[in-house]
Amino acid sequence: MTGHVTAPAAALADQLPDWVTLLRAPNPGPMTLDGTNTWLLRAPDQELGVVVDPGPADEGHLAAVAARGPIGLVLITHGHPDHTEGARRLSELLGGVPVLAADPAHTLGGSPLAAGASPDVPGLTVRLVPAPGHTADSVCFLVEHAAERVVLTGDTILGRGTTVVAHPDGHLGDYLASLELLSTYRGIPALPGHGPALADCGAAADFYLAHRRARLDQVRAAVAAGVGTAAEVVAAVYADVDRSLWWAAEWSVRAQLEYLAVPTRESGDGGTELEQP
């Protein structure tokens, strides 16, 4: 989800390796930007490729992905439906290829991805980069061929704007740590789950970290000023966000309040009040 930041977090990538192909799903919206990015990676002179994030259960999109076969493996960055809903059907279209994710619920025909995993893709070196925070199961993939590298960032880093911390599954402390890790990937293009590819994953992570820390300062100030509920924090801190997205901003606010150790309690009208420390 984008907040007041709607521009890319780093310079756009003007060129990607010729072994990278983007197939964008036709599901544009406020939370998905131009649509979910399905990435196809295939090393030169290799028959089998790998798909990252099949996207929604859109038959036309999945058929277009399958038409780029043969594909030997499908990888998942995290379990949100706009990334995973089409996974089972795509696997069927590809003859039952495995689908690997950190969450067993989204894993088909193989073992769930764990720290240190290096999925076998002919001609490519693929390394799992644990990146919890947006969701508990979020991962990124560092992929290398010859001297070229890319990082597939899912929703941890978007191509435009910023993302939500999907509390309570997402956790802000984990997210900040994941951004710190991604900030070390200097000069490596980021292939996000939504929006355009970015030229420098490390620079984008730096931008995100600065943005998150600024938001935390705003939340601290709002709490100190005596706001009573998480919804009131949203109104104070995310006033620049379209009201139709305030429900999603409240996810991030709840994650921020948890991170700041601000206790909350249910109010009589069903809202959530903050108990001042």
- Identify which has the larger pLDDT, 8 or 78: 78
Output the pTM of the full model.
0.92
Rounded Cα distance between 241 and 46, Å, is 46
The type of residue at 13 is A
Whether residue 270 is predicted with pLDDT greater than 80 in this model: the reply is no
- Identify which has the larger pLDDT, 248 or 150: 150
pLDDT band at 272 (very low <50, low <70, confident <90, very high): very low
Rounded (10°) angle between helices 201-224 and 172-182: 150
Per-residue pLDDT at 4: 44
Mean pLDDT of 133-151: 98
Helix (H) or strand (E) holding 265: strand 264-266
Mean pLDDT of 219-239: 91
Per-residue pLDDT at 7: 79
Average pLDDT, the chain: 92
Rounded Cα distance between 232 and 214, Å, is 18
Rounded Cα distance between 71 and 68, Å, is 8
Mean pLDDT of 217-230: 91
The type of residue at 57 is A
Using alpha carbons only, how large is the chain's radius of gyration in Å?
Answer: 19
Between 52-66, 121-135, 239-253, the lowest mean confidence (pLDDT) is in 239-253
Per-residue pLDDT at 262: 86
Preceding peptide of 30 cis, ω within 30°: no
Whether residue 237 is predicted with pLDDT greater than 90 in this model: the reply is yes
Q: Per residue in 22-45, is it b (16+ CB within 10 Å) or e — as a string?
A: ebbbebeeebbbbbbbbbbbbbee
- State the virtual CA torsion across 260, 261, 262, 265 in degrees, nearest 10: 140
pLDDT band at 242 (very low <50, low <70, confident <90, very high): confident
Per-residue pLDDT at 5: 54
Per-residue pLDDT at 145: 98
Whether residue 263 is predicted with pLDDT greater than 80 in this model: the reply is no
**Percent of the chain clearing pLDDT 90 (strictly above):** 84
Tell me the per-residue pLDDT of 26-85, one tens digit each, with 9 for 90 and over: 999 989 999 999 999 999 999 999 999 999 999 999 999 999 999 999 999 999 999 999
The H-assigned helical ranges of 157-245 are 172-182, 201-224, 230-237
Per-residue pLDDT at 266: 45
Rounded Cα distance between 131 and 110, Å, is 21
Rounded (10°) angle between helices 172-182 and 246-259: 90
